[in-house]
Amino acid sequence: MIKKLEKALFRINSQQVNMKKHFCIVIVITIIIQSLQTTLLANTIVQDIQIHLRNAPLNPEPILQRAREHIQIYKGNPLSQTNLSKTIKSLKQTKLFKDITVEHINRHDGIVIVLQMTACSVIKDIQISGAFPLFERDVLNVMTVSPGQIWYPAQVNTQIERITSLYKREGFIHSKIDIQAHKDIHDGYYVIHVTIDTGDCAHLDNLMINGNNYARDLFLKAKMKTYQLSYIPGNAGCFKEKNLRSDVQSLVAWYRNNGFADIVIDSTINRHSQGVDVNLDILEGPQYRVHFVGNQFFSDKTLNKTVTIFSKGNRNDSALRRSIRAIQKKYHEQGFLQANLHIANRMIVNQKPYIQHIWFIIHEGTRACVNKIEITGNHILSKKQIQKSMQTQFPGFFGKTPFQPDTLNDDIPAIKAFYYKHGFLKAKIDKTIHRHENNTDISIQIRIHEGPRTFVRSVSFSGDLDVVQTLNMAYLINQPLNEKAIQNYRQSIEAHISDKGYPYVSVQEKMHLTSDYRQADVIFHIHKGKNVRIGHLYFHGNFKTKTSELRDVLAAKPGDNFSLSKTLKAQQNLRDMKIFNSVKLTPLGLKEKKDEIHLFVEVEEKKPLFLELGGGYKTEKGAFGHTKMGDKNLFGKNKNAWIRFEQSEVGYQGEFNIHDPDLFGERIDTSFGYDIERLKEFNKNYGTQVYGWSLNLNRNWSKTIRSDLNFRYERRRKFLRGLPENDDSDLSKEELKPRSLLVTSPVITYDSRDSFIQPKNGIYASYAMDISKGISNSLDDFIRYYLEIRTYHQINEKLVLAGTGRFQTIRAYGSLERIPEDQLLYLGGSSDVRGFKENMFLFDEQDSPIGGETILSGSIEARYSLGFNFEGFIFIDAGQMLDMNEELLIKSIRSSTGGGLRYHTPIGPIGIMYGIKNSIYGNEDRGRLHFAVGYSF
């Protein structure tokens, strides 16, 4: 029986061995056949290249052209299997094609390559409707898909879940989301339509607080944003779980700050058809009272700041243990090396809340202070230089320096490293600590043996010398040997060579020291690696933006030397275009160290078309409404074109503008426009009608400095308001005639503010000139000067002080003797001296405003945050008008004081303010109420 089994096993093993042999033979034959096919194909001329596109759009030519850009085999050339593989890989990397296969059709005169592929379902746009009260960008940020990515129907549920979760956090727990993908039959791309039905949001119905003995219900509720918002109708008063969590954390912090270190607050949410009920269950625990015994050096107030039970709680006495370590560390840092402490506690339970007394019993011991630090042996480097490298403080004239042995131990290697940095390679450092009899005074002696100082005698190169001809190496020679400086120089060599098209460069430095360690020869061995050039430029996601525009910004073309630093700069330049939400530039082949790098640019475009509607009330122009519409990426050329119109109580304004952010590739921000306005400003007996063309050029020289140069042609006409043409007014007939003028305005601006919308720190300064020249008249031959300085300083978290000073003057030149009234300068109103009507800082007997040729004004404002985006402020404004054309019956220096309230919206503040004149004349009002959008300064 056993022999039969052995024979059967032998036959099975023999069969398995034969099968393995046959399998290996098949593999070898297959490889040979493929090699023969490759060899035969390599000698075959490509006669034609065809693309068969599955899932093609109605107009397939644009996407076919994108495919042709990635084909690296050419008609009339022998077929290269390597280039064919590169073609397939490149097509896949575009994220536009999938399921790519290759078919060869043999003909008598060569071969036809047929590329069969499927067009991917690429997202072109995501359109969202019903997002209010959230912004469209809020919804897009939670979605995991974006324009340029491939759309899969299976992604619908994930997107719905994420958007639903977003609205649930905002209080809309019954929101309904619908997502549909529609294919554009013309280009084959997909548009994703997201429809949101938020439903009604839930409001807080009841808030119950249990277990609170230390504070009343109403007091705790008043601290909760959840409770405060419940009185606001509509979406603004929605109940949000995130607000409740924040409220609970705030209450816990408040309880801890009042001594309840063991506080626990649990919240329960009950939803019903009428709204939301919230229960807060509070377990206050004992109220801790902390005492210190034995502390003479530190006050109770100072030590109390190190006790963490009132900030982090005291679960399992962990905070007490941390506090002990913190107090001991504080004493050790002040030289009390033997200080120790322990804790005693006692609870009083015959009152509520329970009182938990904790005593920190401290034994300070004696304090060790540094009496003297003596440094010897330093001949080259000064004591002052060495002292700067140490953390141990030297004794001074005032106060004592605590002795910290750990810090001194760290100073010894720091001094040695300092010497090594200055070329002392053999420096030796040691220390001696001497305690005086009283055990409180410490003398420290630091002994230094400098040894020889090493200087760089020569710098030379070896290896590939053709790429280092322009390097400057003089600044290393005859300098102390510094390894850090040599490493930095090596890195600069690598960067220099890399920019020449050798990104795989390797530079190694070697130092040869003389036997006396006084001189060193530094040799940099350079292996430049292979020259790397840019292959193809691939772009993805630019559905609107022209590829040629992206190529211009990249400033790279196939065949150029590849530079990693230039590539990173090109990526930043693309991001600076401000028409993309995201930009990613990938150098394909860099990790694999290939000799040809393809640049693959992925962008996500912002929506180019926009429409803005707005309105409101401002004191200087009354009720107003405006609209603005435009294209932020006109013709896909990174140009911004828009048209704007505003109608208000003082008239209308219209404007058309085309903006180029990078004229001629020189980073010159340029705008060209046409505008028209007809205004009847408050408190003026005339109106103006102006239209003209303008050209504005500006450039940012740094983060804070900017210059502008503006040119303007203006056609101006002044007309009387409610007066006959022959009225004996101050307006001359020449002033009533239409006038044409040219204005050139250079401007320089300094701006270091931390925010444009709500500045809290920084300085803003601007100086400008208007050089005006009248055409066929001299009424507009003048130069106007502007100077303004604003400063902001944040005193604490809530208080900001702001101030401004302004100076304007206008001076005639040529034959002009008198500045036209419509070019004079005026004060009064919400933008300068508040408390006065618009332009009514000075007035004549007919209560008409008076303008001058020079004005000065200044303001100081204190802004205090009230919470919930509200801000209260008080101000003092003052102004002076000079060089008037008529005599005054009142003083030209006037001032006002007042205050107001602002509310901060996402696009800026809106506010109401009341200014009170510090002196009044005639029938003037005592004060003035102003409504304003934005800050006065």
The pLDDT tens digits for 267-317 are: 999 988 778 899 999 998 888 888 999 999 999 889 988 888 888 777 777
Angle at the Cα of 73 from the Cα atoms of 68 and 79, rounded to 5 degrees: 150
- Answer yes or no: do 601 and 723 share one domain: no
* Summary mean pLDDT of the chain: 86
- Answer yes or no: do 513 and 567 share one domain: no
The predicted model gives 829-838 an average pLDDT of: 89
- Answer yes or no: do 172 and 275 share one domain: no
| 17 pLDDT above the threshold of 70 | no
DSSP letter (8 states) at residue 34: H
Sheet containing strand 287-293, strands side by side:
287-293, 355-363, 340-348
In a domain, residue 732? The reply is yes
In a domain, residue 409? The reply is yes
- Say if residue 133 is preceded by a cis peptide, omega within 30 of 0: yes
| 9 pLDDT above the threshold of 50 | no
User: pLDDT tens digits, residue range 440-455?
Assistant: 888 999 999 999 999 9
Q: Which among 317, 341, 363 is the end of a domain?
A: 363
Burial pattern 465-479, b for ≥16 Cβ within 10 A else e, equals eebbeeeebeebeee
DSSP letter (8 states) at residue 872: E
Cβ count near 379 (within 10 Å): 8
Q: Which amino acid is at 91?
A: L
Tokens of 756: 């444009």
The structure tokens 């009225």 sit at 727
Cα distance between residue 152 and residue 192, in whole Å? 11
Please, what is the angle between helix 2-42 and helix 81-93, to 10°? Answer: 90
Burial pattern 23-40, b for ≥16 Cβ within 10 A else e, equals eeeeeeeeeeeeeeeeee
- Say if residue 353 is preceded by a cis peptide, omega within 30 of 0: yes
Cα distance between residue 872 and residue 912, in whole Å? 10
Cα distance between residue 73 and residue 79, in whole Å? 7
Q: Which among 507, 527, 547 is the end of a domain?
A: 527
The structure tokens 């540094």 sit at 370
- 22-36, 483-497, 868-882: lowest mean pLDDT where? 22-36
Total structural domains within the chain: 8
- Answer yes or no: do 235 and 378 share one domain: no
Sheet containing strand 533-540, strands side by side:
533-540, 596-605, 580-588
- Answer yes or no: do 713 and 851 share one domain: yes
In a domain, residue 548? The reply is yes
User: pLDDT tens digits, residue range 316-332?
Assistant: 778 888 888 899 999 99
Residue among 448, 440, 305 nearest 383 (CA)? 448
Cα distance between residue 259 and residue 357, in whole Å? 11
User: pLDDT tens digits, residue range 172-228?
Assistant: 888 899 999 998 887 788 999 999 998 888 888 899 999 998 999 999 999 999 998
Tokens of 880: 């002076």
Chain-centre distance of CA 327, in angstroms?
A: 40
DSSP letter (8 states) at residue 150: B
User: Is there a contact between 171 and 238 (Cβ–Cβ < 8 Å)?
Assistant: yes
Per-residue pLDDT at 834: 92
Tokens of 511: 């130092």
| 670 pLDDT above the threshold of 60 | yes
- Answer yes or no: do 769 and 834 share one domain: yes
DSSP letter (8 states) at residue 64: H
Cα distance between residue 427 and residue 420, in whole Å? 7
Counting residues of the chain whose pLDDT is more than 70, the rounded percentage is 91
The structure tokens 């929101």 sit at 175
- Answer yes or no: do 543 and 523 share one domain: no
CATH (domain of 383): 3.10.20.310
- Answer yes or no: do 581 and 722 share one domain: no
Q: What's the sign of the alpha-carbon dihedral 526, 530, 536, 542?
A: negative
In a domain, residue 601? The reply is yes
Q: Which among 151, 175, 197 is the end of a domain?
A: 197
Per-residue pLDDT at 352: 67
- Answer yes or no: do 440 and 468 share one domain: no
Tokens of 95: 């994220």
- Answer yes or no: do 163 and 234 share one domain: no
Please, what is the angle between helix 564-575 and helix 483-498, to 10°? Answer: 70
The predicted model gives 864-874 an average pLDDT of: 90
Per-residue pLDDT at 160: 93
Per-residue pLDDT at 728: 44
Which 3 state secondary structure label does DSSP give 811?
Answer: strand
Q: Which amino acid is at 325?
A: R
Tokens of 624: 């107003």
Neighbouring residues of 443: CB distance < 8 A, sequence distance ≥ 6: 370, 371, 372, 373, 374, 433, 434, 436
Q: Which amino acid is at 492?
A: S
Residue 22 pLDDT grade (very low, low, confident, very high; cuts 50, 70, 90): low
User: pLDDT tens digits, residue range 126-155?
Assistant: 999 999 888 888 999 999 998 888 888 888
Tokens of 20: 């393995």
In a domain, residue 479? The reply is yes
Q: What's the sign of the alpha-carbon dihedral 38, 43, 44, 49?
A: positive
- Answer yes or no: do 694 and 768 share one domain: yes
Chain-centre distance of CA 351, in angstroms?
A: 54
Query: Domain range holding 313?
Result: 287-363
Query: From start to end of 532-621, where are the E strands?
Result: 533-540, 580-588, 596-605, 609-618
Cα distance between residue 491 and residue 52, in whole Å? 50
Element (H, E) at 434: strand 428-435
Left, alpha or beta for 868 (phi > 0: left; psi -120 to 50: alpha)? left
- Answer yes or no: do 834 and 878 share one domain: yes
pTM for this prediction: 0.71
| 42 pLDDT above the threshold of 70 | no
Which 3 state secondary structure label does DSSP give 427?
Answer: coil
Cα distance between residue 209 and residue 11, in whole Å? 85
Cα distance between residue 702 and residue 708, in whole Å? 14
904: exposed, middle or buried (Cβ count in 10 Å: 0-12, 13-18, 19+):
middle
The predicted model gives 522-543 an average pLDDT of: 89
In a domain, residue 663? The reply is no
- Annotate 252-277 with three-state secondary structure: HHHHHHCCCCCCEEEEEEEEECCEEE
Per-residue pLDDT at 899: 95
Per-residue pLDDT at 757: 85
Please state the length of the chain: 937
Cα distance between residue 340 and residue 623, in whole Å? 72
CATH (domain of 740): 2.40.160.50
User: pLDDT tens digits, residue range 765-775?
Assistant: 999 999 999 88
User: Is there a contact between 800 and 872 (Cβ–Cβ < 8 Å)?
Assistant: no
Cα distance between residue 29 and residue 34, in whole Å? 9
Chain-centre distance of CA 322, in angstroms?
A: 37
In a domain, residue 611? The reply is no
In a domain, residue 725? The reply is yes
Dihedral of CA atoms 767, 773, 777, 782 in degrees, nearest 10, equals 30
Per-residue pLDDT at 663: 79
